[in-house]
């Protein structure tokens, strides 16, 4: 009888532990889905802000320590980037994102990689091309900020 109770207690404990792990996985999966939805929304907003020429979106969402490495290898600060985006000489005509992959770390860092096709005009000079990019989003308190971006032109 005691052996039966002991076995029952052990099975109950194992079942409780398994249920706890299952609950933690469900919670982690839910948080990952929430993070994915937030980053997808932010990326859609970023695209629209570029197309509509709304630099205020970037003022709100670029981290204070934001750093960008452009396709020529030049490094730009947050201030440099905002100055460029505020320019009335800038016009973005096409911004198409594809092949995006997101990886989340500790629930507060997302590294997004993908491909973009862009066409823009600066001072009446047109530019276009396909680029690979890496963007790093970080969660600061309750808000997500774009911390860094790097672009590489795809030859061709």
Rounded to whole angstroms, the Cα distance separating 135 from 106 reads: 17
pTM: 0.79
Mean pLDDT of all residues in 18-40: 72
Q: What are phi and psi of 149, to 5 degrees?
A: -150, 145
Strands 143-153 and 62-69: parallel
In the chain, how many domains are there?
A: 1
pLDDT digits (tens, 9 = 90+) for 83-127: 999 998 888 889 888 888 899 998 999 999 999 999 988 888 888
Tokens read off for 77: 């600060």
Rounded to whole angstroms, the Cα distance separating 20 from 105 reads: 22
CATH number of the domain that residue 61 is part of = 3.10.450.50
Burial category of 38 from C-beta neighbours within 10 Å (exposed 0-12, middle 13-18, buried 19 and up): middle
Residue-range definition of the domain harbouring residue 116: 2-153
**pLDDT above 80: residue 2:** no
């Amino acid at each position: 009888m005691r052996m039966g109770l002991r076995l029952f207690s052990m099975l109950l404990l194992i079942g409780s532990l398994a249920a706890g792990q299952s609950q933690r996985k469900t919670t982690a999966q839910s948080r990952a889905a929430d993070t994915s939805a937030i980053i997808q929304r932010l990326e859609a907003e970023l695209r629209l802000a570029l197309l509509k020429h709304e630099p205020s979106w970037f003022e709100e969402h670029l981290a204070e320590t934001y750093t960008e490495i452009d396709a020529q290898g030049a490094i730009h600060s947050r201030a440099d980037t905002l100055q460029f985006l505020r320019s009335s000489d800038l016009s973005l005509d096409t911004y198409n994102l594809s092949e995006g992959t997101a990886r989340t770390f500790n629930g507060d860092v997302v590294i997004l990689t993908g491909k973009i096709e862009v066409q823009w005009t600066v001072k009446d000079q047109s530019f276009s091309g396909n680029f690979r990019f890496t963007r790093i989003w970080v969660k600061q308190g309750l808000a997500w900020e774009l911390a860094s971006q790097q672009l590489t032109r795809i030859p061709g």
